[in-house]
Structure 1
Amino acid sequence: MASALLVIFWTSVWPYLLGVLLVGAAVAIGWWLWRTDRLVRGRDRLRRQEEAVRAGRRTLAEVDGMTGTEFEELVAELCRRDGCTEVRRVGGAGDNGADVRGRLPDGRTMVVQCKRYAPSRAVPTRELRELLGARVHFGADLAVLVTTSRFTGPSVRFALEHGILLVHRDLVGAWNSGASLVSLSAVNGRGQGDARYRRRIASEQ
């Protein structure tokens, strides 16, 4: 009698158990396929970004469309392209004012802060003070601030007084097109923007 009841119970229950197992397997396979697709797409996107950097095909409009993290990754890749070593992106919460760290080709250590701002926005002096603190905190030889916008007159003067390398919007374009980071130090904040920006800088002095 017990055996008969067990058979009846199993006969009525097993289709549901099988259905649950099939649904679970389908969900697991679907998740695995989704995850694999995300990883493949992410790697392919990173590869295309690296190729674009090396070829200098990235436009400033494309840079403007990046997230803050993507801009930091671009800056790190440009540093690597120029022969910098030990380059790593460290931006995020608790970054102590550093977004990218590494060594220049001559062995000097550097700390880089990246500001992906709208072209009309200017980097104020307080951002340079924060970067100066990061240079002291990490004991770096060189501090660099890279931005998609421009710098105010006071911030340019502050940078020159404290040996901070400024890479404004125009220099980001030159850097991306093949100029080396070291070569930008000869310009260091000068020649930024069009005549309207230069007049604004002059009015702030």
Structure 2
Amino acid sequence: MINETALLESKTLRSNMLDRADVLNRVKALSLLPDGMHVTTAMAAAYFSVTVEAIRALVHDHRSELEASGYQVLSGPELSDFKQLSGIQSRTRSLALFSRRAILNVAMLLRDSEVARQVRVYLLDAEYQARTQPVDNSVHTDVTSLDDRIDHRIAHILGQTVVPMFNALIASSSEHRRELITLREDIQNVERKLCWHHQRINALEGDAPTDQVRSSLKAMTWQAFERHVAGLLRRDGCTDVVVRQARSDCGIDVTARTADGRTVAVQCKNRAGRWVVPSADMQKFAGAARAIDPADVALFVATCNFSHEAQAVAKLSGIVTVNGDELEAWSAGVRLSELR
């Protein structure tokens, strides 16, 4: 098992664990800015129960690593745009912001904080659970079609029956919540490996699954597309999934809640051809998901690409974009890391 010293000393180990920011709220509630995605230096210091100077010193020593995980300093027009989109009031000429991943990165570096130490304990425990699970990455070209159908059917049962059962148990249980989440992750790992196995067999036989997914998405109406995205959220462990399917939704089509309690807001755009999502649509969704109906995780899912301006607005607002290619992979069985 990896020990705490190795995590403190190894940048590679820390980088491999940045997708597990959900552990932060398991240790202590992390207060966020109105944009629902960032914290200031003072807020980071309050979370870890250390001084602001301690956080600044850590940034000074590990700035490049923290920037790679989401730390940034805004000034000038970028700061003005962020203030406008997030609704915060500040007269400073620059503003240092930490994403949830950057806060997790700080937890893996900060030595003189009991909160940071507890976060590392959660991370190491999760890593140990993942490493002790048996993994079989072998793919045999002589697997029969019957075995392939059995694998596909088992994956379907796991995704449609067993995982939702664990979701219900997690939602109703407090005493054994952590154990249930770990068990559900084990089940989902098996499901993903079976889906991967099924896709590799189809690819070897000349039946590319992405072609099937692409055709299916193109045939969907906007109502069917929203229901499809809702189904993907449920498959990835979300609960309380609601499809609004109303034109007075202020840009939010689907709402949900992740397994660790974070709220999710989703905008769905089903467009064909060379159409791209414009910045106006992204700004409308940013206003809804960050100000009108604030959500912890904001997803903009589209069957096409996003304009450069829309991508810039999404980055400033902390919105996760899922373009056509990423949507196909998500639909084919790949989980979104933001929902873990």
The TM-score with structure 1 as length reference comes to 0.60
1:69 aligned residue (192, 204, 223): 223
User: What is the Cα deviation at residue 107 of structure 1?
Assistant: 1.3
Tell me, yes or no, if the aligned pair for 1:68 and 1:116 is still in contact at 8 Å. yes
The reply to whether residue 126 of structure 1 matches residue 276 of structure 2 is no
Give CA deviations for 1:137-183 in whole Å, capped at 9, x if unaligned.
11211211000000011111111111000000000011011111225
Give CA deviations for 1:57-116 in whole Å, capped at 9, x if unaligned.
651121111100000000000000000010010121211211100112221101100000
How has the CA–CA distance of structure 1 residues 184 and 160 changed in structure 2, closer, same or farther, with 3 Å as cutoff? farther
Q: What stretches of structure 2 of length at least 5 have no aligned partner? A: 1-155, 161-194, 200-208
1:172 aligned residue (327, 330, 337): 327
Tell me, yes or no, if the aligned pair for 1:79 and 1:181 is still in contact at 8 Å. no
Tell me, yes or no, if the aligned pair for 1:119 and 1:148 is still in contact at 8 Å. no
Which letter does structure 1 place at the counterpart of 2:215? A
1:82: which partner in 2?
236
2:245: which partner in 1?
91
Which letter does structure 1 place at the counterpart of 2:336? L
1:156: which partner in 2?
311
| Higher relative contact order, chain-length normalized (CA < 8 Å, sep 6+) | 2
Q: Quick one: distance in 2 between partners of 1:148 and 1:116?
A: 5
How has the CA–CA distance of structure 1 residues 90 and 128 changed in structure 2, closer, same or farther, with 3 Å as cutoff? same
| Larger mean Cα displacement after TM superposition, 77-86 or 90-99 | 90-99
Tell me, yes or no, if the aligned pair for 1:150 and 1:168 is still in contact at 8 Å. yes
Give SS of 1:157's match.
helix
Tell me, yes or no, if the aligned pair for 1:112 and 1:145 is still in contact at 8 Å. yes
Counterparts of residues 1-205 of structure 1 (less than 5 Å):
59-135=213-289, 136-182=291-337
Q: Quick one: distance in 2 between partners of 1:127 and 1:96?
A: 11
The TM-score with structure 2 as length reference comes to 0.37
Misfit runs of 4+, over 4 Å: 53-58
**Larger Cα Rg: Structure 1 or Structure 2?**
1
Q: Quick one: distance in 2 between partners of 1:121 and 1:138?
A: 28
Q: Quick one: distance in 1 between partners of 2:331 and 2:247?
A: 27
Tell me, yes or no, if the aligned pair for 2:300 and 2:320 is still in contact at 8 Å. yes
Tell me, yes or no, if the aligned pair for 1:111 and 1:134 is still in contact at 8 Å. no
Tell me, yes or no, if the aligned pair for 2:297 and 2:338 is still in contact at 8 Å. no
Give CA deviations for 1:27-73 in whole Å, capped at 9, x if unaligned.
xxxxxxxxxxxxxxxxxxxxxxxx6x967865112111110000000
Give SS of 2:245's match.
coil
Question: Equivalent pairs: percent with the same residue?
Answer: 36
RMSD: 2.2
**How many corresponding residue pairs?**
134
User: What is the Cα deviation at residue 119 of structure 1?
Assistant: 3.7
Give SS of 1:59's match.
helix
Give SS of 2:284's match.
helix
